[in-house]
Amino acid sequence: MINEDLIKVLFASMVPVGELRLSIPLGIIVLDLPIFSVFLFSVIGNSIPVIILIPVIQKVARFAEGLPRPLSTIFIWRVDRLSRTNGQLFNKYGFLALLVLVAIPLPFTGAWTGCLASWIFGIPSRKSIPTIILGIFVAGIIVTCLVVLGSTL
């Protein structure tokens, strides 16, 4: 039977801003769950929006642009910023740049940003979905190691 705290971890990993940076510390430090279970549920939970968003990202983007201010302004700012700061990298490295963008667990990186970047830079779904999920897996390893190391100090 699945622990209700693991469901909390799963849903926390789906949140656009927090993603793994939220769910893994929540599961390991706050909820005191087994590390492997937290990692697994975080990676699965963070992958679910990717599988849903990538096929419909263009419709989601049009919807987000039509939202009232400040939400539409934030979305447009994020699209412009991604285009300006990462345009050369994506033109040169394509899906590898996408992998790095998702795998490095810093603010404004992660699966949701990866979905947006794949749309902006025209990376096909058949490449972007596995690339983003691989990036989630790498980010999960990084965040888990940092949380475990940090919690033992």
pLDDT in tens, 38-59: 999 999 999 999 999 998 887 8
pLDDT in tens, 74-84: 878 888 888 88
DSSP tally for the chain: helices H, then strands E:
7, 0
The helix (run of H) or strand (run of E) holding residue 24 is: helix 19-25
Average pLDDT taken over every residue of the chain: 90
Buried/exposed code over 60-86 (b: 16+ C-beta within 10 A; e: otherwise): bbeebeeeeeeeeeebeebbeebeeeb
Burial of 5 (0-12, 13-18, 19+ CB in 10 A): middle
